[in-house]
Copies of this chain bind each other. A is one copy, B any other.
């Protein structure tokens, strides 16, 4: 036991700095989720990470900067996951639908901070025009990614080549957010299979369009 089981050698200065920064960002995400942007103090964040405010201010210049960095580090993860689920063309439509439903349940029930942070980011963005544009761009790229996946999948099956996949993507995205928020408020409101069922209805109805 030389104390080196987990780390092959001492961390360089740059590495410890990056590690502290990451610890602070993780702590900040938790605290922002628990208390909100305005309700969280810099002291709360530093203490949660095991440091002091003085240490935090060597890594970030303000509370706002911490928040924006948390946002940047937490984006993309979950919705890339969603696109992966839909893009897995090996599974049957039934499997895809149940995977979609499972994602809603998993996010709402297990990723306790997700919906909270999402709401905090949204409010922060709506109140700051510059940041709002940033968030809009992100939504747009999520929608575009989903649109491409839907179109590819439809083409593979040789059907619905001219369907309004972009509008459908927007609906699926909005419905995901809405259902996660609802289930987070009360799990009984959103049955485990609902997201998959709803998308089934959407696809069927869209295919039968006049």
Measured CB to CB, the residues of A under 8 A from B are 34-39, 115-116, 119-120, 122-123, 125-127, 132, 135-136, 139-140, 143, 167, 170-171, 173-179, 181-182, 184-186, 188-191, 194, 197-198, 200-206, 208-209
Contacts and interface: CB of A to CB of B under 8 A. Distances in A.
Contact of A191 (B167, B182, B185): B167
Nearest to A198: B171
| Copies in the assembly, this chain | 2
A35 B209 CA distance: 44
A143 B189 contact: yes
B123 A185 contact: no
B204 A208 contact: yes
A202 B168 CA distance: 11
A104 to B, nearest CB: 10
User: Which A-B residue pairs are the 5 nearest by beta carbons?
Assistant: A174-B178, A201-B205, A205-B205, A204-B205, A178-B178
A190 B143 CA distance: 11
A116 B202 CA distance: 28
15 contacts: A36-B127, A116-B123, A119-B122, A125-B185, A132-B185, A136-B189, A139-B182, A170-B189, A171-B201, A173-B178, A174-B182, A176-B178, A177-B178, A204-B208, A204-B209
A123 B127 contact: no
Nearest to A175: B175
A161 to B, nearest CB: 17
Nearest to A199: B205
A185 B119 contact: no
B120 A185 contact: no
Contact of A194 (B127, B167, B182, B205): B167
A70 to B, nearest CB: 16
B170 A194 contact: yes
Contact of A178 (B175, B191, B204): B175
A137 to B, nearest CB: 8
